[in-house]
């Protein structure tokens, strides 16, 4: 910085987003220096350019910045990033728990041990596991370690969910998190993950921009009079896209304000409840129509998630955000 400030009265810093986070961006902005963080996937590159060096990359960034062809990424505040890290830690713990359960169930399947109860991982299922005895000591050790791993992962997930709820209450976006829970399928974990990953939804001018950012819009390869649409682009934030697709599966049933939804809507304004009901009427009907047309259930869930994001944007526009 000292070297460059002696050569130019005005400096603009640009670097690619990576695993080192935003500490450099925050340091430069505290020095009153303009800084932009750009996504590597959105940097235009020549297909035939096979030579990559730090100097060439720096020159490319400078040239594209001067021409206005770079797209800065959203940089969250420190408090917002802290909630996002906690939400991602919970997501990682859930993935570890599922992996541990799969390993245990695979061991039982290899030894032809099948649970005949109604639900796996219930209290009855855990009591059934405690009564199992394998024919060899080695297999019994493996079984006990797998059961212990599942118990530890379950406890870790419970602790993280409790901490996430406690840390989210004083958060400035918590009122929006509560408002989004008026929607069907959007429980606390879905709402907190969406807002932690996306921040202020109103920073998108239109719902279509939000859909595109989430990677829920169909890809397209058209030429001339022929228009070809493919699967969703899967660009943008994969964490928010995953929870929205999971939430969209709740609309496979008919529209109904159940008791849990009614409890979540009890302290919310009528305008938000009206938006949530319109979302139910439209999305439940659209889910059944797409299935009747022979669409794959995964394709239907992605289409419903795309429209669900638009209703979330509408609720965020109605509900104010704390400073």
Give yes or no for a contact between 266 and 181, defined as CB atoms under 8 angstroms apart: no
3-state secondary structure of 229: strand
What contacts 52, CB < 8 A, 6 or more positions away?
Answer: none
The string of pLDDT tens digits covering residues 247-267 is 999 999 999 999 999 999 999
CA atoms of 162 and 155, how far apart (whole Å): 11
Terminal Cα-to-Cα distance of the chain (whole angstroms): 33
Return the structure tokens found at 48: 């035939």
| 320 pLDDT tier (thresholds 50, 70, 90) | low
Mean pLDDT over 304-316 rounds to 96
Give yes or no for a contact between 105 and 230, defined as CB atoms under 8 angstroms apart: no
pLDDT at residue number 197: 96
The string of pLDDT tens digits covering residues 292-302 is 999 999 999 99
3-state secondary structure of 323: coil
Nearest CA among 173, 177, 175, 201 for reference residue 189: 177
146 pLDDT above the threshold of 70: yes
pLDDT at residue number 92: 97
The string of pLDDT tens digits covering residues 154-177 is 999 999 999 999 999 999 999 999
CA atoms of 232 and 300, how far apart (whole Å): 12
The string of pLDDT tens digits covering residues 274-288 is 999 999 999 999 999
Beta bridge partners of 35: 13
Return the structure tokens found at 14: 């640009």
Return the structure tokens found at 199: 């921040």
**pLDDT above 90: percentage of residues in the chain:** 80
Number of helices (H), then strands (E), in the chain: 13, 4
The string of pLDDT tens digits covering residues 14-23 is 999 988 899 9
């Amino acid at each position: 910085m000292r070297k460059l400030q002696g050569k130019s009265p005005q400096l603009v810093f640009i670097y690619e987003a990576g695993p080192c986070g935003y500490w450099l961006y925050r340091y430069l902005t505290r020095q009153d220096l303009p800084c932009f963080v750009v996504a590597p996937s959105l940097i235009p590159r020549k297909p035939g350019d096979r030579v990559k060096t730090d100097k060439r990359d720096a020159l490319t960034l400078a040239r594209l910045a001067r021409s206005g062809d770079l797209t800065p990424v959203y940089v969250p505040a420190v408090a917002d990033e802290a909630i996002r890290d906690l939400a991602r830690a919970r997501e990682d713990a859930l993935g570890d728990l599922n992996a541990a359960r799969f390993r245990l169930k695979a061991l039982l399947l290899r030894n032809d041990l099948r649970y005949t109860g109604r639900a796996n991982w219930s209290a009855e299922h855990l009591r059934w596991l405690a009564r199992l005895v394998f024919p060899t000591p080695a297999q019994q050790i493996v079984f006990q370690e797998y059961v212990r791993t599942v118990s530890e992962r379950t406890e870790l997930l419970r602790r993280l969910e409790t901490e996430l709820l406690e840390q989210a209450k004083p958060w400035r976006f918590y009122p929006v998190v509560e408002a989004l829970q008026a929607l069907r399928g959007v429980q606390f974990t879905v709402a907190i993950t969406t807002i932690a990953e996306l921040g202020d939804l109103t920073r998108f001018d239109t719902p279509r921009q939000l859909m595109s950012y989430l990677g829920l819009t169909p890809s397209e390869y058209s030429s001339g009079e022929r228009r070809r649409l493919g699967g969703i682009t899967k660009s943008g934030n994969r964490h928010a896209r995953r929870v929205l697709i999971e939430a969209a599966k709740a609309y496979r049933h008919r529209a109904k304000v159940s008791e849990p939804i009614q409890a979540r809507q009890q302290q919310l304004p009528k305008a938000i409840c009206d938006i949530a009901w319109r979302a139910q009427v439209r999305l439940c009907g659209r889910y059944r129509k797409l299935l009747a047309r022979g669409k794959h259930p995964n394709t239907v869930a992605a289409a419903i998630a795309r429209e669900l994001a638009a209703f979330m944007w509408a609720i965020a526009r109605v509900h104010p955000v704390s400073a």
